[in-house]
Each structure stands twice: as C-alpha cells, then as structure tokens.
Structure 1
Amino acid sequence: MFPLFRHAAGALALSLGLALALPSHAALFSDDEARKAIIDLRAKTEAEKTARDAEAKARAGEIAGLRDNLLSLNSQIEGLRAELAAMRGQNEQLAREVGELQRVQKDIRQGVDERIRKLEPQKVTHDGREFMADPEETRLFEEAMGVLRQGNFAEAANLLGAFQRRYPASGYGPSVLFWLGNAQYGKRDYKEAINSFRALVSRAPDHPRAPEALLSVASSQSDLKDLKAARRTLDELIRAYPKSEAAVAAKERLATLR
C-alpha cells in the first residue's frame, strides 16, 4: 500500500473515532469531511498516477528514440564498413594493376634496351684485331664464312663481295679480302684472287693474314703458269715478312721453282 493510502486510512480511522465521540450533527459533519478527504486523496492519487504514466510514456519514447538512433548508428557503421571493404578491394585491385603496369613497362624497357643493344656497335676481336662492328655486320660476315666452309666458293664469293660493298670501312675488311681471294681461288678465278690478295696487302700490310695473302698470290701466279711472277712474289714475301711461317713456305717453294 502506498504511503498516501496509509495516511488516508489513518485519517479516516481518526475521523470515525471522533465521529463516535461527538454528537450526531457533529458526526454527520465529520462524515462529509472524511468523504471529501477521500475524494481529494483519490484525485491526488489519480493525478500522481497520471503524472507517473506520462513520465513513463515519455521515458519509453526516449528509450525508443535512443533505440532507433542506435539502430541507425549501427546501420551507418555497417555502411561505412562496407564502403571501407569496397575501398580496400579497390585499392588492392589498383595495386595489382599498378604492379602489372610496372611489369609491362619493365618488359618493354628491357625489350627496347635489347633491341638497342642489337643495333649498337659492339667490340669484336677477329684475326688478332679488335674493332667495333654492328651486330648485323658481324652476322653477315659469319654467314658468308659459313657458306665458304661448306665449300660453296661461288656463293661465298658473292656474299663476301656484297659485304665489302655494304661495309667498305669495316674492321672485317682485310679478312673479307683474304677470304674473298680464297673463294675466288677455289672457283679457279686466279686473276680475281690475285687482285683480292693484293688489295689486302696494300690496305693492311701489318695484318696477320698479309703474309698468307702474298703466298696465295704466288700460288695463283703458278696456276696461271707465270712462274717468273710467282718467284718475284715469293721473294717479296721473304723480304717483307722474314719471320712469318709463310716466309718459310716461300723459301721451300722457291727451291722448287728454280
């Protein structure tokens, strides 16, 4: 029981006690006051109950509002998480794409560098001499030499002649003249062989192939039955390159030609 009810009951009991002790007209007056007190108490109690109900309703509304706000906040948080996950996925995709682009750029750069290296002159050592030559220049020379090794003298002469016209100042030049002379000699074109061997001696007298070139000139002259010219060439070889192996061979041939 609420305190107000206990207070009202006490007051009612007190009023009843007084009513019994007073005369009859006083008892009637006291009953009216008691009823009025009860009515007032009920009104006050109802007012308090109404106030409490209103307060409870207001609090329930506040709680509902807080719940709605919390749900909305949770929804926003989930939305942000989804956006963050999407952004993370996009970043990962971008990172993969950037990595792929970098790899492609690296491959392209390496390819370009490789092509440049293939076009740039490179240091070459041939017949004891070091010089710069284009990759294509080296390829064509080696191709001609491959044909010569196969014994196809006519085709080798054509390739070596074409090389000489294309690269007149090539570091391979003296060697080209030497092997061109050999190819011409192989197809029995002795006069052209003599011209090629002589061109080598005139162009590069200090070339390692120069003594052999003079020995080959003498061989071509012998095959042309010009023994006098062959002896002169052998004498020239011995004087010009006395310490060469070709000079030793020239002395042996001179002994047979006398």
Structure 2
Amino acid sequence: MSVYSMPLRAAVLATTLSLSALFAAPAQAFSDDEARRAILELREQIKQLTEQNRQARLQLADQLETIQHEMASMRGQMEQLNMKAELQRRANQDKSGSTTDTKVADPQEQAAYEAAMELFRGGKYKEAAGSLATFIQTYPNSALTPEARFYRGSSMYASKDFKGSIQGLQGLIKASPDDPRAPDALLVIAASQIELNDMAGAKTSLQKIVKDYPQANAAETAKSRLKLLQ
C-alpha cells in the first residue's frame, strides 16, 4: 500500500460512515436544507481529499524522477572514474614496456613525449593534452605520434572535453586503423558519446570494436557495454 493512500482511505471511510449516518437518521432529524448542506459539505471534503491525493502522487513522481536522475549521474561519474583508472593503468604499462615497435632515435623527441606523459600520469590532463598536441605538431612522423594521439584524446576525455576527445581519437583511427590502441580509442570515443547523450553513436562505436577488432581485449568490454545500452 502506498504511503499517501492511507490517509485518503481513512478519510473516505469517515466520509462513508458520515453518509451512512446521514441517511440512517430519522427523516425528521434533518430539514431538506440541512440535508443538502451536509451533502455539499461532504462532497467538498471528498473533492479536497481527491486533490490532496493527486498532489501527493505528483510529489512522489517528482521525487522518484529526481532519484533516477541522481542515480544516472552517479553511474556516469563511476564510469568516468573507471575509465580514468584504466587509462592510467595503460599509461603505466606503456611506460614499463612501450607498444611502439620502432626505436626512437632522437633523445629530444623521446624526452618531449615522456614529459607530456608524466603530466598525464600525474592527473594534469589539460596540461597533458596541450603538451601532447605540441608533440604531434612538432613530430608528425614520429613512431610515437599514434601513441601521443591516443593519450591526447584520453586526456581530453579525462578533462571532460568530450567533443575534442572524439575528434582527436577519430583522427587516430583514420590515420592508423591497425594501431594496437585503435580498439581502446573506440572505447574512449564511446564513453565520450555516452557523456554527450549520443547513445546511437556509442552503440556504433562499440559495435565497430566487436566487428573490426574481435580479438582485442576491448572487444569483451564493448560487448558488456552494449548489453547495458540495450
């Protein structure tokens, strides 16, 4: 039984008993005017109680909607934290053993990249995005550029520049579709699309991972998130 229906039931019961008493009383107990007035008063009471019940229902619906919005916001925040943690894990993994096949000959180039990545690992995402953008512009043909593109897009996601993250990571996938970070880039793109409430776009990005990179670890994550979006 709902919390707001109990007072209404009690009031309606009292009203019913009053009506029963009214009509059970001897005819001479009430004049016609008194009887009509009593009936009108009871009708007004029922009307007021009905309105109170309607208002209670509306208030409860508003409260439920607020709770649902808060829960959705908390899930979004949790998703962002999980994604940030995964990106940090990936960055630390790349630090210990780079996924880049080609050795970097220029120590200055390597130093510039590592300086940008230290900003990322330190959680200074806006600064990392700017530093990585400078690296990409300065060393466009570097073997580290795809990696720099990935972490630049990831930095933008972490700093809530979701549109910039999507644009940057789509550039990585277009330029280097066979890069080992491409499926992870699509995961970040999908996460950004969810934050922008582009659920159709997120589904497309996740489906692309499953279709184009079925052997990647990201494919299992994509399948799980697709189920949540259904």
TM range (shorter): 0.5 to 0.7
Shift of 1:171: 0.7
Q: Give me the CA root mean square deviation.
A: 1.2
Alignment partner, residue 148 of structure 2: 176
What is the number of equivalent residue pairs in this alignment? 134
C-alpha offsets along residues 164-186 of structure 1, whole Å, 9 cap, x if unaligned?
11111111110000000111011
Are the aligned partners of 2:100 and 2:144 in contact in 1 as well (CA < 8 Å)? no
Alignment partner, residue 232 of structure 1: 204
C-alpha offsets along residues 75-95 of structure 1, whole Å, 9 cap, x if unaligned?
xxxxxxxxxxxxxxxxxxxxx
Equivalent positions of 1:1-258 (< 5 A) are 126-258=98-230
Alignment partner, residue 25 of structure 1: none
Are the aligned partners of 2:190 and 2:205 in contact in 1 as well (CA < 8 Å)? yes
List structure 1 runs of 4+ shifted beyond 3 angstroms: none
Taking the aligned partners of 1:243 and 1:210, their CA distance within structure 2 comes to: 12
Taking the aligned partners of 1:127 and 1:154, their CA distance within structure 2 comes to: 24
Taking the aligned partners of 1:176 and 1:246, their CA distance within structure 2 comes to: 19
Taking the aligned partners of 2:104 and 2:202, their CA distance within structure 1 comes to: 36
**One-letter amino acid of the structure 1 residue matched with residue 183 of structure 2:** P
Taking the aligned partners of 2:189 and 2:103, their CA distance within structure 1 comes to: 27
Taking the aligned partners of 1:210 and 1:185, their CA distance within structure 2 comes to: 16
Identity of aligned residues (%): 37
Taking the aligned partners of 2:216 and 2:149, their CA distance within structure 1 comes to: 20
Taking the aligned partners of 2:170 and 2:105, their CA distance within structure 1 comes to: 24
Matched position secondary structure for 1:250: helix
Are the aligned partners of 2:150 and 2:185 in contact in 1 as well (CA < 8 Å)? yes
**One-letter amino acid of the structure 2 residue matched with residue 192 of structure 1:** G
C-alpha offsets along residues 147-202 of structure 1, whole Å, 9 cap, x if unaligned?
11110111111110111111111111100000001110111000110111111111
**One-letter amino acid of the structure 1 residue matched with residue 114 of structure 2:** E
**One-letter amino acid of the structure 1 residue matched with residue 170 of structure 2:** R
Computing the radius of gyration from Cα coordinates, the structure with the larger value is 1
Q: Which has the higher contact order (CA 8 A, sep 6+)?
A: 2
Taking the aligned partners of 1:133 and 1:242, their CA distance within structure 2 comes to: 34
Taking the aligned partners of 2:185 and 2:125, their CA distance within structure 1 comes to: 17
Taking the aligned partners of 2:171 and 2:99, their CA distance within structure 1 comes to: 17
Shift of 1:207: 1.1
Matched position secondary structure for 1:129: coil
Matched position secondary structure for 2:102: strand
Taking the aligned partners of 1:128 and 1:248, their CA distance within structure 2 comes to: 24
Matched position secondary structure for 2:160: coil
Taking the aligned partners of 1:133 and 1:228, their CA distance within structure 2 comes to: 43
**One-letter amino acid of the structure 2 residue matched with residue 140 of structure 1:** A
Matched position secondary structure for 2:167: helix
Shift of 1:128: 4.2
**One-letter amino acid of the structure 2 residue matched with residue 130 of structure 1:** T
Are the aligned partners of 1:133 and 1:171 in contact in 2 as well (CA < 8 Å)? no
Taking the aligned partners of 1:128 and 1:184, their CA distance within structure 2 comes to: 22
